[in-house]
Amino acid sequence: MTSIDSPTPDRADADHYRRQLQTVAANATLALFILDERQRCTFLNPAAERLTGFTLDELRGMPLHDYIHHTRPDGSPYPLEECPIDRAFPQNMREQGEEIFVHRDGHFYPVAFTASPIRDGERTVGTIIEARDITDELRAREEGALRARESALIAAVGTTLTQGGSLRDVLHGCTDATVEHMDAAIARIWTLNPAEQVLELQANSGPASSMETTARRAPLDSRLGRLARGGQPVLTHDFASDFDAVDPEGARREGVVAFAGYPLSVDGEVVGVMTLFARHPLPERTLDTLDLIADGIALAIARVRADEARERLVREVETQRSRLAAVFQQAPAFIATLRGPQHVFELANPPYEQLVGHRKVVGLPVIEALSEVAGQGFIDLLDNVYHNAEPFIGNEMPILLQRSPGAEMERHFLNFVYQPLVDADGSVSGILVHGVDITEQMEARRMVEEQAIELEAQKEELQQQASHLEDVQIELEASNEELQKANEELRNARDVAARESAHLAAIIEHAPVGIVIAEAPGGHIVAGNRRVEEIFRHPVLQSAAIEGYSEWVAYHPDGRRVEGHEYPLARVFGTGEVAGPDDYLYQRGDGTRAWVRITGAPIRDVNGELTGGLVVIDDIDAEKRAADEREQLIADLEVGRARLQQIFTESPAVMALYAGPEHVVTMVNPAWERIVGKTGAVGRPFREAFPEFRESGLFELLDHTYETGEPYVDPEVNVPIDRWGTGILEDSYWNLVWRPLAGEGPQGRDILVHAVDVTGQVRARKEVELKAEELARAARALEASNRELDQFAYVASHDLKAPLRGISNLSTWIEDDLGDAATPEVREQLAMLRGRAVRMEALIDGILQYSRAGRVRDTTDRVDTGALARDVVDLLAPPPGARITVQPGMPVIVTERLPLQQVLMNLIGNAIKYAGGGEARVEVSATRAADGAWEFAVRDHGPGIAPEYHERIFTIFQTLESRDVVESTGIGLSIVKKLVEGRGGRVWVDSAEGGGSTFRFLWPAQSASTEPSVTDSGD
């Protein structure tokens, strides 16, 4: 017999220690590299292979730097002498940091590394490098930094918008904040000029803002204008095809490569465009960031535009008022306006003041300013006009006036109109007095009439004295001279009357309102002034009767067309009463429409008989449209103000305003009171409202922010806070921003506060970190336990199989020693003994495999399952006559190769074994399951399995046939179950006794190729 020497204890310990190191390196999540004295690679673990894409065989003996660290991300070479990792060996000290590695496929990725020298006593013999991919960590850092910049941007823009100032100053503050917080080369804001249909540059900020635009005005048919008209934001890195409002040469000089454009709109109406240029690619969420500030900027533009429009309206109204005042003052007729039931003089023009002797009348009631008119009937006329809203027209009305104190009463004759002044609600607020003094004309006419009477008497006398012609010749001649003189005076009186009539006609013709006069009873229009033609833009319609009024085209405010009989002039003739004022949308002669206000009044003679009708037409189109625009502007401003107020009041973040060096709380939003829990803080200094912050350092930080004007931002400031005055200090965390305002408030500099309570998030993160550390400790303990279990299983299987091999060898030796003396029965018993030993050894191997199943994980790889199944068939070496078919189209998946091979080997091996060996017919197939996993099936034509055993067969050590009939350990299917379920899958059998069996299992795969297996074939 040949003896086998056992290894010495030192060697066994070394082997054991080496295996432990190999196990640690193979299962480590960190990438490990070992370099020799020449900085050549001598070892890298599986994690390093996955990290770099290279295998140990490819890098063994090679300079590691030349394969994974040779080039910078900008494409320039990375010399070895500049590499911090390489300094660990010559400087004999540990190096740590972050670097950019190059993957085998050429892409760059960030890593955190530790390079440590390997020492053998006092001598440095190599370098060990630990590395891990920190792509996700950097992405998380960048995401956090981006959110912080967004919060700071919103706060800065909000501060700018609330400070007021000119539109250019406000928008320039917004572009400054955008450049600062979005790392932009240029930020610009253009506003829409709707009158000229162009975009005008209002604000231009940034380190590259000197890059000139080709024009400071961009028409709407330009590419920048189309961005405004389209109303959709744009983000592009194809700068060559960018907007024509940018200087291409300047852009190349400044290194600008990216552009973002965002329309600024209010209620769907574009008011401007915001553009952004950067020297680096802009992230996809740039447009989302711009969306956070676009509404506020658009509202600011709309608000300023509304203010400008309102100022224009005020100037236009003032201009119109000045024009009317000039007309009022320069009119040849006397004009005055009276307000209220007491008829208080509001205005009086120079002719009126001349009429009453230049007495002070403005501000006094008529009865007080002109006390002599009491009892003459004028006060009653005024009262009637005011209360009944009916005008009064007086012709040749006498009035006694005392034009100076103590003087005698002077008799004057007047032609005048008392016209009620009606407000928009239909109520009378005053009376317009308009007339002319015809005293001189009346005196001239009286003199002519008296002289005519005298001449008639003289004529009769002359006829009676005809017989005495000679006696009275001298008297007759004198009378003839007097008669001629009287005729001359009559002609002069008629000339005066004609001039006065022309004077009145001129007043009507040049009146600021349209005037139309018609005769009663038919309504024949006899006159109309020039202003009527200006308003209607067609000649005065000389209608012969009321029926002709239907030729006019006008519409009521509700859109109905005005019928001829509905016009105020027609209603005056129908009722004899005042009609209107009515507002109509009139179809003018040039085809346009304009709003007019028409008031009709009857004209009566001294007997009260209706002799005609008068209408006054006022052009109110500009006034009405201005009123509509003003109401819309006011409504828009109110919407904007309400929206800003809503943002402040409904913001989930804590917002407040601190004023002056004492940081007095002057304003807080509801979230501040709800979350901070400091009721009654408004009006109190910060130190008094938050005494619990005394030891936190926040008082000093707030003072520094106030003194320097520099904003303070801390995403996780930790402070104790006493909410609701309970005296209990809660540990809290806040994402805090203090933003000093640029201007000086009434109490000094103001500081805007924006804070978000992140206590829950911080505690949750710390809890997750704590749980992660606990899980890591548990994982390390489990790994150590698994290693010990593996070692125990290995040692136990070795120690158990050694006696079995001895028994097998001993039975062989006994059979050899017996030689021919061994009977067939003895030989059979010895063969059975050796078979039992082999079965026991297989059972031990099965137990070892079962203990490892589901615990040991291999690296994933691209696996052609069709080729793998064929490899399994080749390894099993089925007996001649057996037919194993692998279905075409088996998938190519990314998974662990060895566990899947072990599952297929067990199932295909069982199928061959139980289906008759050389007569076996086995089919292997795969289909995609609903959840994305792959369902594999191994079907045989064997005796089948009764349903009551479908679960039992997957239990360890369970077989349906005696081990003497079919050799089996009863472990194979339990290993299959453990391997499949350990990877999130499921295994089951479809079978009936006598009908064959189909074993199926679901195998999750990380990803799958749509290409079929390249080894598809038949049997």
User: In terms of DSSP H, where are the helices of 677-758?
Assistant: 686-689, 698-708
Strand, helix or coil at 119?
strand
Residue, of 290 and 399, whose pLDDT is higher? 399
Q: Write the pLDDT tens digit of every residue in 91-135.
A: 888 888 899 999 999 999 999 999 999 888 788 889 999 999 998
Percentage of residues of the chain with pLDDT beyond 90: 18
- pLDDT for 476: 45
Contact 436, 337 (CB under 8 A): no
| pLDDT for 245 beyond 50 | no
d(CA 189, CA 202): 6
Q: What is the average pLDDT across 999-1016?
A: 65
Q: Looking at residue 961, what DSSP letter applies?
A: S
Q: Looking at residue 72, what DSSP letter applies?
A: -
Would you place residue 86 in the very low, low, confident or very high pLDDT band (cuts 50, 70, 90)? confident
Which of 101-115, 164-178, 727-741, 823-837 has the largest mean confidence? 101-115
Own/partner pairs, 13-17, CB within 8 angstroms, 24+ separation: 16/791
| pLDDT for 1 beyond 60 | no
Name all domains of the chain by residue range, CATH numbers in brackets: 25-137 (3.30.450.20), 164-305 (3.30.450.40), 331-444 (3.30.450.20), 509-626 (3.30.450.20), 854-1003 (3.30.565.10)
835 burial via Cβ count (<10 Å: 0-12, 13-18, 19+): middle
| pLDDT for 507 beyond 70 | no
| pLDDT for 420 beyond 50 | yes
Peptide bond into 581 cis (omega under 30): yes
| pLDDT for 344 beyond 80 | yes
Would you place residue 548 in the very low, low, confident or very high pLDDT band (cuts 50, 70, 90)? confident
Which of 210-224, 451-465, 932-946 has the largest mean confidence? 932-946
- pLDDT for 139: 84
Q: What is the average pLDDT across 394-405?
A: 88
Would you place residue 499 in the very low, low, confident or very high pLDDT band (cuts 50, 70, 90)? low
CA 203 to chain centre: 21
| pLDDT for 213 beyond 60 | no
Q: What is the average pLDDT across 819-834?
A: 78
Give me the residues paired with residue 753 across strands: 656, 738
| pLDDT for 506 beyond 60 | yes
Strand, helix or coil at 30?
coil
What strands lie across the sheet with 123-133, from one edge to the other? 41-44, 31-35, 123-133, 108-120, 95-102
Single-letter residue type at 581: P
Q: Write the pLDDT tens digit of every residue in 41-57.
A: 999 999 999 999 999 99
976 closest CA partner among 883, 882, 911, 885:
911
252-256, 386-390, 576-580, 654-658, range with the lowest pLDDT? 252-256
Tokens 């904003």 correspond to 711
Q: Looking at residue 683, what DSSP letter applies?
A: T
CA atoms within 13 A on the CB side of 623: 13
CA 418 to chain centre: 61
- pLDDT for 970: 57
d(CA 567, CA 584): 10
CA distances from 414 to 351, 384, 496, 500 (A): 13, 19, 15, 12
489-493, 532-536, 750-754, range with the lowest pLDDT? 489-493
13-17, 251-255, 994-998, range with the lowest pLDDT? 13-17
d(CA 367, CA 373): 7
Averaged confidence pLDDT in the chain: 80
- pLDDT for 33: 92
What is the per-residue burial (b if ≥16 Cβ within 10 Å, else e) of 8-40? eeeeeeeeeeeeeeeeebeeeebbbbbbeeebe
Which of 475-484, 820-829, 889-898 has the largest mean confidence? 889-898
CA 979 to chain centre: 51
- pLDDT for 322: 55
Q: Write the pLDDT tens digit of every residue in 484-498.
A: 675 676 566 566 555
Q: What is the average pLDDT across 333-359?
A: 88
| pLDDT for 31 beyond 60 | yes
d(CA 366, CA 342): 8
Residue, of 779 and 193, whose pLDDT is higher? 193
Residue, of 515 and 455, whose pLDDT is higher? 515
| pLDDT for 410 beyond 70 | yes
Q: Looking at residue 970, what DSSP letter applies?
A: S
| pLDDT for 222 beyond 60 | yes
74-88, 152-166, 572-586, range with the lowest pLDDT? 152-166
3-class SS string, 854-906: CCCCCCEEEEEHHHHHHHHHHHHCCCCCCEEEECCCCCEEEEEHHHHHHHHHH
| pLDDT for 969 beyond 90 | no
Q: What is the average pLDDT across 308-325?
A: 67
**How many Cβ atoms sit within 10 Å of the Cβ of residue 658?**
26
Bridge pairing between strands 883-886 and 921-928: parallel
Contact 731, 720 (CB under 8 A): yes
Percentage of residues of the chain with pLDDT beyond 70: 78
590 burial via Cβ count (<10 Å: 0-12, 13-18, 19+): exposed
d(CA 667, CA 682): 6
d(CA 985, CA 982): 7
Contact 419, 338 (CB under 8 A): no
- pLDDT for 3: 30
Residues 6+ apart with CB under 8 A from 703: 661
Residues 6+ apart with CB under 8 A from 451: 486, 489, 490
Own/partner pairs, 974-979, CB within 8 angstroms, 24+ separation: 974/850, 975/846, 975/849, 975/850, 975/853, 975/902, 975/906, 976/902, 976/903, 976/906, 976/907, 976/1001, 978/850, 978/853, 978/854, 979/853, 979/854, 979/899, 979/902, 979/903
- pLDDT for 855: 54
255-264, 816-825, 997-1006, range with the lowest pLDDT? 816-825
DSSP string of 40-60? BEEEE-HHHHHHHS--HHHHT
521-525, 576-580, 701-705, 960-964, range with the lowest pLDDT? 960-964
331 closest CA partner among 350, 346, 353:
350
